[in-house]
Structure 1
Amino acid sequence: MHAHPYEPPADIGLTEAEAIALHYYRAAHRDGWTALVRAIADALSDLDAAQAHAERQGRLISRGYARGRSNG
């Protein structure tokens, strides 16, 4: 029997996505809506950070390419 009916048994292997979802669910005191909103907010924040990093890297590469050109 499970301690809580919405949690998987301890001996079952979870996928990475399931483990992350379960972490958010437990951190939100088993409030599914709050867990979902927090997970999406974190994912969007990570996506914004990754996009900003990619843009900074793109600018560095572009400048380096332009500086490395020979004029002749």
Structure 2
Amino acid sequence: MSHEPAERWDGRAPGVETIAAAYLMAAGGDAGLALRRAIADALADLSEAERRIRQQDRLISRGYVRAGRSGTAL
């Protein structure tokens, strides 16, 4: 199993250590609470991503139906 480096150096997003430290600080040093919050946030983000994918799939399907068999829009 490969893992992403703990810290990114390309400036795109904070690394794992930065995120973990922020959760730990927000939880007042309670590692268990920080972990539960991080997991809850990750699950919420995953749920939102899945919702958006389903929405995109519906829009794409409607586009195919509207285009009809000839491929031209109605």
Q: Please report the TM-score for the alignment, with normalisation by the length of structure 1.
A: 0.75
Report % sequence identity.
48
CA apart distance, 1:69: 2.2
What is the letter of the counterpart of residue 27 of structure 1?
Answer: A
Greater than 2 Å deviation, 4+ residue runs = none
Q: Aligned partners of 1:48, 1:28: CA distance in 2, in Å?
A: 23
> Paired residues, what number?
58
Match in the other structure for 2:68? 69
Q: Aligned partners of 1:47, 1:38: CA distance in 2, in Å?
A: 14
Q: Larger C-alpha radius of gyration, 1 or 2?
A: 1
Larger relative contact order (Cα-Cα within 8 Å, sequence gap ≥ 6): 1
Query: What are the ranges of 5 or more consecutive residues in structure 2 without an aligned counterpart?
Result: 1-5, 8-14
